[in-house]
Chains A and B, each alone.
Chain A
């Protein structure tokens, strides 16, 4: 290696070393600190283009891997935080497939019915279950219009540090809140864009500069069970 080239590489390394913490700081600045409360200025949501949704389930696998949701081989009682739903029009036979999970409603029926307030909505629109105050009455499971909630029917093992679960309580998609708080995207979205049909987008519905906001403003989209006027945080295209 000639001296000039060596010097150039040295400067490059020095520049990278100098800039890297800066980029890291930008990333950290975008993440919420643990002390900082979620803000009503944000409304996290998903936009799912089901014309791109292919016959795969990488979103489901990624979600359950990320959140430590493991089955016991009992489909009726095993938890499912996200599922692939296949649709076929009753008259035309037109077939579609889409991922369905908690729709993170602005007016969530699960939150309304919960007697203890364990079902709650964060200021930034993410609907969660407080695992400490859920008494396992399952009223929210009945109330959810999307069948998105699961009751933990037996002891769980292999839990992830960020995702507490517990027998006898109810759980559902958290929009990967632990990742969102670190300024990352939910596991399903990441997997879909890496290994799937690139059908899923995540972002702040309130942020005018966000791609999801731009698309929702300029392209047609719909809500599942829009008749219920719940103003869902998850929107679909092509439905």
Chain B
């Protein structure tokens, strides 16, 4: 078995600094947005007492879900023993950590009192899935760091599989925790379902792999490293399977709701007359995020098609999370079933929401942070093989 040679990216080209600078600008814009929101208060955002989680949460949840999914490539190599994926395992671990860091940064900076982060670290209510997630997220950093160490340190290579199994189990629990943030909301008709935990897990497979594919292609192209078509074709097939799995869970969720009389109004809202949410569901999530990528990876095929499919999965994934988080809140709570309800506090009406600039800047800033950390990681440590050409990858 040929050993894989890893190497840092050079990081001396103008392009490298332009990329890092551009990502830095996004991070700064995000920080400025957070600073403004904290000082002015959240009334400057599109959020309200009815839509309490807005665009920052869409980005944060997307990044956190994608983070656990990005680790899948490494899991396939070390847990399921597929040697083809082994050269990609380090990058997979890196992305898992950086995407999570980006998502958490957004989540924390959106808090009403981000200055009280220390309180969240010292006061725990263990009945709260949120409190559990604090441990799951910080633990994920530690577990993936350990996993990466077993990959980087030759003497520790023998432990890679065990660390990989631990990381794989941890990520399954982590995404279960993220889905359960919504699944445990008993009083909200759009949530309140155990199905959300496995749905979030398959979403993570799909979103994480899509980001992984794009980052891998960009990193190899910009650092002049070969990247084999056969390897990409395998990743494309895998992406297709994951996209189909998400579609399956989404279909089961909606079909179940359509069967229940008390959920019909909700389904009518989401699927038929929910305005922007209906459009985002059918055009964003289903067409762009699911059908187009499936056609691209299974019918069109090829490198460009895979890149386009991955981009579509990311766009569709953001639309899906937007519909889940914001659409789910916009739909009025059924406090008095069977009654038309009105009040000065927007009871009984679809809550209005439009994303504000600070929210978008904060969310995109999180993406910028994740990618900037990835670029820096690639620069300082040998995460990427010198070559991922088909023959070498197959031999590895």
What residues of chain A have their CB less than 8 Å away from a CB belonging to chain B? 72, 74-80, 83-91, 100, 109, 111-118, 133-139, 141-147, 149-155, 167-170, 224-225, 228
Contact = CB atoms under 8 A, between A and B. Distances in A.
A66 B395 CA distance: 76
Interface residues of B, number: 49
Contact of A167 (B41, B119, B340): B41
Contacts of A74: 43
Interface stretch (B123-131, B161-169, B279-287): B123-131
19 contacts: A76-B49, A79-B49, A83-B343, A87-B336, A115-B120, A115-B124, A115-B125, A116-B120, A117-B125, A133-B119, A136-B113, A137-B112, A139-B128, A139-B130, A143-B185, A151-B49, A154-B42, A168-B112, A224-B336
A144 B188 CA distance: 9
A8 B264 CA distance: 77
Interface stretch (B17-25, B305-313, B344-352, B382-390): B344-352
Given A115-B120, A134-B112, 12 more contacts: A74-B43, A75-B346, A76-B48, A112-B127, A113-B185, A135-B113, A141-B52, A142-B53, A142-B185, A145-B187, A151-B52, A155-B41
B257 interface: no
Contact of B341 (A76, A86, A113, A136): A86
Given A76-B48, A83-B344, A134-B112, A114 B42 contact: no
A100 B113 contact: no
Contacts of B154: none
B187 A228 contact: yes
Contact of A147 (B111, B333, B352): B333
Given A137-B111, A138-B52, A85 B343 contact: yes
Contact of A142 (B38, B52, B123): B52
Contacts of A150: 49
B113 A134 contact: yes
Contacts, number: 168
Nearest to B351: A76
A136 B112 contact: yes
A224 B335 CA distance: 7
Of the listed residues B43, B49, B120, B335, the one surrounded by the most CB atoms of chain A closer than 10 A to its CB is: B49
B335 A170 contact: no
Contacts of B111: 135-137, 168
A133 B119 CA distance: 6
Interface string B47-58: 111101100000
Given A83-B343, A83-B344, A115-B130, A169 B335 contact: no
B338 interface: yes
Given A76-B49, A142-B329, A114 B125 contact: yes
B130 A137 contact: yes
Contacts of A89: 338-340
B36 to A, nearest CB: 12
A153 B42 contact: yes
Contacts of A151: 42, 49, 52, 112
Contacts of B187: 109, 143-145, 225, 228
